Amino acid sequence: MSKRIPRKLFPLLLATAALTLSACQQAAGTGEARVAPAPLVEAIDPQRDPIKATQARKQLMSQIEQVADVNELRREVLALIADKSADNVQQCLVLPLGHKPCGGPAEYVAVSTKGKDQAALLKKLEAYNQAAEAENLRLGRMSDCAVVPKPQVQLVNGQCTLVNEVTY
């Protein structure tokens, strides 16, 4: 047996969801408001208007096909940064990877620039970060809005690694 939400509550639920998303996205500290994405599924009842429902479904499918495959971009970036070997710490960088729905990077990674085209690497990383941000907005994702602090990098046994600082 399923319970249905009374129609009177829909505007209240939508307003609450919009305010929550807006507050989380503005908590990033940038001060600029973000535009909420279009809903993934158009709120059209297929029994009342089957033609519009079908058109909305086709539009949604075309949008999904146009979106860059975020997981594929992530795999490409991880393949580019897999070799962390370096001769000195100056060849090591700490770069942001991914995007949290509230803003800022999802994580940081240690990257070695030894033998790599640094410009191409940064371009691919930026493409992934932008795609991850767009995906978060498109799906209306939320996060804990916690700031991920940028760690330091060190050279250990010829490998670039992040310094795991534990503070109490």
Does this model's pTM top 0.85?
Answer: no
Q: Are 95 and 134 within one domain?
A: yes
Phi, psi (rounded to 5 degrees) for 161: -135, 155
Instruction: Express each pLDDT in 63-93 by its tens digit.
Output: 565 455 788 899 999 999 999 999 999 999 9
Q: Are 103 and 125 within one domain?
A: yes
Q: For the purposes of burial, counting CB atoms within 10 Å of the CB of 58, is it exposed (0-12), middle (13-18) or buried (19 or more)? A: exposed
Parent domain of 41: 36-66
pLDDT number for residue 65: 56
Q: Are 56 and 102 within one domain?
A: no
Averaging pLDDT over each range in 6-20, 52-66, 86-100, 134-148, which range is the top one? 86-100
Q: How far apart are CA 93 and CA 84, in angstroms?
A: 10
| Residues 6 or more apart in contact with residue 129 via CB below 8 angstroms | 96, 97, 98, 99, 105
Domain endpoint, select from 22, 46, 66: 66
Q: How far apart are CA 112 and CA 114, in angstroms?
A: 6
Q: Are 123 and 95 in contact (CB under 8 A)?
A: no
